[in-house]
Structure 1
Amino acid sequence: MPENISQTILIIGAGTWGCSIALELARRGHAGITVLDGHPFPSAISAGNDLNKIAEAANEPSSSDSDSDHFWNTIHSLSMHQWKHDPVFSSFYHETGFIMAAVGDDAYQECLDCANSEQSPLVHLNTEADFKSTMPEGVLQSSFPGWRGFWKRKGAGWVFAIGALKAMHDEASRLGVRFLIGDAKGRITEVLYTADKSAVTGARTADGVDHIANQTILAAGASSCQLLDFKQQLRPTAWTLAHLPLSAEEAHSYRNLPVLYGVDRGFFIEPDVEKHEMKICDEHPGYINPVVDPSTGQTNSVPFARQQIPLAAEQRMRRLLRETMPQLADRPFTFARLCWDADTADRIFLIDKHPDIKNIVVAVGGSGHGFMTSPAIGGLVADIVEEKNGVEERVKNMMRWRPEISVGRDLWDTQGRYGAGGKVMDLREVRDWTRIGE
């Protein structure tokens, strides 16, 4: 018979959102919190296990905003307040500025739409000289063929992702949260239910232990839909990143750069201070791994960890470098991996009590915004657990359980993303992978 361990709150997933939720609940005085994750911390498939992420302040929320604008302005405002003022988060935010640009006309229209909605002052960039004026001499050595965009000098930059993830974990642990991680004691083999399936009672792990809880919170990122039927509300999607090594002298001269984000090219962020590596990402609508579920006949994308990337992704990164920093375009990368997230159909988070099953809250659907907004996620989920009205009903309603908008969902929907020929790509069709570091 499985061993039974009773606790008040069980959190499934020790990634970005799981750690944020555990931290906030512990800060509010909840005891008996256990976090389960089948991967060693920090997980190799956690999107937050990364050098850095883009962070950007939003406009002040207004009742006259569209629903989407109001949602993002509210969530970003909550998050940015903590990135700037919360002692767990504030040392990891770097306000270096943000450049948004594009080459293709459709992608450039996306830039213009963002620029037109901005309340912060912007510098428009249309020429080679304009782009080179944004960074120290010698960093940008390209002629920027076809590039157009704008420069947001304040209210944006980047956050040190892995540092913040570890800080959330460490502070939650100090406050009494118990993390059970690793293949045997943290890997969930099944979610546990009452006999009539009307309520969740906890989860069973690979070591045969039943973790019984009054409240279960599912925050396992792209892996969440392997544990619960989300009615096609989630599409696990992978992006690609690599690390470019610099010498100590180069790293010093590349410090405090604004983030440069090409909507149809990719982005880079200044190098880290320890290893002197710069993260490079190509931009595209994502990779998926379609697998047919034999029990339902539905096709779902199933995530997997891999510390290499498709060769085509590396080639796109090299193009980004040739068009911005050609002096680095042929330098070997030191690291690469797939980075998974879960897209909702409208790219709005899914944070809600399950409407049909008691005692479970879902906190999923980062949709590419998960880490930037992670300081706010803990509070949003804690309010649901405590049945508090922490955010207005309009925002709560947008995050509700909403399978009706996913009926007939197209797995190949680009969801407004650009690059790589403007299509979602199939990992099953990738034949050529990088061999970085081998």
Structure 2
Amino acid sequence: MPSPLTRTSSILIIGGGTWGASTALHLARQGYQNVTVLDSHAIPSAISAGNDVNKIKGWHNSDPASSSSSSSSSSSSGQGSNAGEYTREKIACEANEAWLQDEIFKPYYHETGYVIAASQPQHIQNLYEEEKPTAEKGFEELNSAQDFRNTMPEGVLTGDFPGWKGWFKREGCGWVHARKALVAALLEAERLGVKLVTGNPHGAVQSLWFDDDDDNDSDNDGNHNDVRGAITADGKHHLADRTILCAGANAPQLLDMKDQLRPTAWTLAHIQLTQEETALYKNLPVLFNVERGFFMEPDEDKHQLKICDEHPGYCNWVTTTDQNNKNKKISLPFPKNQIPLHSESNIRLFLHETMPHLSTRPFTFARMCWCADTPNRDFLITRHPEYARLTLGVGASGHGYKYIPVIGKYIVQAMQEKLEPSMQYTWRWRPETAVGRDWEDVQGRMGGSYKVLNLAEIGDEEWTCIGGAEAKL
């Protein structure tokens, strides 16, 4: 059994990205005095999905109370069919409030509005049924190219928007400056006493440190007893009363996740704008076509416009062996500041339909952005069932950044065993859901080739070559 948890207990967070930063901040705010974050990169981590100029913050119209009654009407264990709905509603409401009120995060939220659209009739219908963008909720219907152009200043949207239909919501949504909010969270945590150990080798975790690693005290079937901490590339053993794994797409390299995580990458590129163009593009609403891609206003520091193409994602499939020497298929993430030419083509198609005056402009930066999908895209936030001192905060599933103001609170609650039942059930350790997992599942995502692509099948010559070398953030 682990020692009782106190405010002086040593707590080790593996990963200083979005969820690791949020966890560190909430631990510090709750008065924990001995918290250390390990990350292989200086802050902000170059491989963190949250190290980005902007992220979408969509609207949220629901109240968790609407699903609370139905959730509570199920068993007290929170295992009713509404547990997931209640959990998603609750954290969305709390995150929305935090972006507006939390002094650390609110400077980075830009309430500029949101245009959401699709191109093919079936996806337009699906979008309407899923989002229910009615006038009563503040949406304006967009049916023509001119309707779309009118959502932004003249000269921004110049495309023909072929087949597009969408809706415009002016209030209650927009975007957040992801990198600045991430850095702000880490710096505030550090100010409150959290120790940041970053860079290679000192912050680069090579493995978890199990309590039987030194004395062969594992049980008869070779399983470990518990987690003592982590071992970094410099050979140092970091001992902790509690360890929290927030390693994102790299988590399966440190712990057998029983196929519950699929490391998946998405693609983005930047285009250089002039100062005059940056001024014109300031305070734009987000434009998101669920089949084509999205963009929002340019970065105010470098005057670069970020564009993402929409697709079900890339995996990097390799074959390895498991602990029983059986072949096992895994997606192995790797950092790369280039993107496949296939994605470049899709980004330029999106630009051609929306801003053709930018569609041939060279990219100044591009990047593979890695996350990790659970089978149902609900998070994995829980105490490990076998290792009592290990807590998991993983499985962001492509939609975890917007919760940075609050997600750490729930990871801390999982460590404390204080999650309310619906959340505990929704975010539980659930390997049974990954048995026979369909690794090609698009999980409701559209665009691109409408299938998950394999990076291992992309040749060296099928990548962008921006600046003739790996571009830098």
Q: Which whole-Å deviations, capped at 9, do the CAs of 1:153-196 have from their partners, x for residues lacking one?
A: 11110000110011011111111111111111111122111223
Q: Which whole-Å deviations, capped at 9, do the CAs of 1:87-128 have from their partners, x for residues lacking one?
A: 110000001111110112332233212332777321111111
Indicate the residue corresponding to 2:308 in structure 1. 281
Indicate the residue corresponding to 1:229 in structure 2. 256
Q: Which whole-Å deviations, capped at 9, do the CAs of 1:178-217 have from their partners, x for residues lacking one?
A: 1111111111122111223121111111111110100000
Shift in Å at residue 386 of structure 1?
2.8
SS in 2 for 1:421: coil
CA contact (8 A) 1:57 1:77 kept: no
Aligned AA (2:228): T
Gaps (5+ residues) in structure 2?
Answer: 1-7, 72-81, 213-217, 219-223, 469-473
Match of 1:415 among 443, 451, 456: 443
Change (3 A) 1:98 1:330: same
Indicate the residue corresponding to 2:331 in structure 1. 301
CA contact (8 A) 1:22 1:33 kept: yes
CA contact (8 A) 1:43 1:49 kept: yes
Name the CA distance, whole Å, in 2 between partners of 1:71 and 1:136: 38
Q: Compute the TM-score of the two structures, normalised by the length of structure 1.
A: 0.95
> Which of 132-141 and 57-66 deviates more?
57-66
Name the CA distance, whole Å, in 1 between partners of 2:352 and 2:94: 37
- Tell me whether 1:345 sits opposite 2:375 in the alignment: yes
Name the CA distance, whole Å, in 1 between partners of 2:160 and 2:313: 28
Match of 1:49 among 33, 47, 51: 51
Change (3 A) 1:372 1:147: same
Name the CA distance, whole Å, in 2 between partners of 1:347 and 1:425: 18
Shift in Å at residue 370 of structure 1?
1.3
Name the CA distance, whole Å, in 2 between partners of 1:424 and 1:73: 28
Aligned AA (1:35): V
Match of 1:142 among 159, 182, 186: 159
SS in 1 for 2:327: coil
Shift in Å at residue 253 of structure 1?
0.7
Q: Which 4+ residue blocks in structure 1 deviate beyond 3 angstroms?
A: 64-69
Gaps (5+ residues) in structure 1?
Answer: 1-5
The equivalences for 1:11-410 within 5 A come to 11-58=13-60, 59-61=62-64, 62-63=66-67, 64=70, 66-116=82-132, 120-195=137-212, 196=218, 197-295=224-322, 296-389=326-419, 392-410=420-438
Name the CA distance, whole Å, in 2 between partners of 1:133 and 1:303: 41
Indicate the residue corresponding to 1:3 in structure 2. none
Change (3 A) 1:329 1:290: same
Name the CA distance, whole Å, in 2 between partners of 1:312 and 1:387: 45
Name the CA distance, whole Å, in 1 between partners of 2:114 and 2:126: 15
Q: Compute the TM-score of the two structures, normalised by the length of structure 2.
A: 0.88
Aligned AA (1:116): K
Name the CA distance, whole Å, in 1 between partners of 2:451 and 2:318: 19
Aligned AA (1:342): A
Q: Which whole-Å deviations, capped at 9, do the CAs of 1:372-406 have from their partners, x for residues lacking one?
A: 111111110112223334xx421221011111111
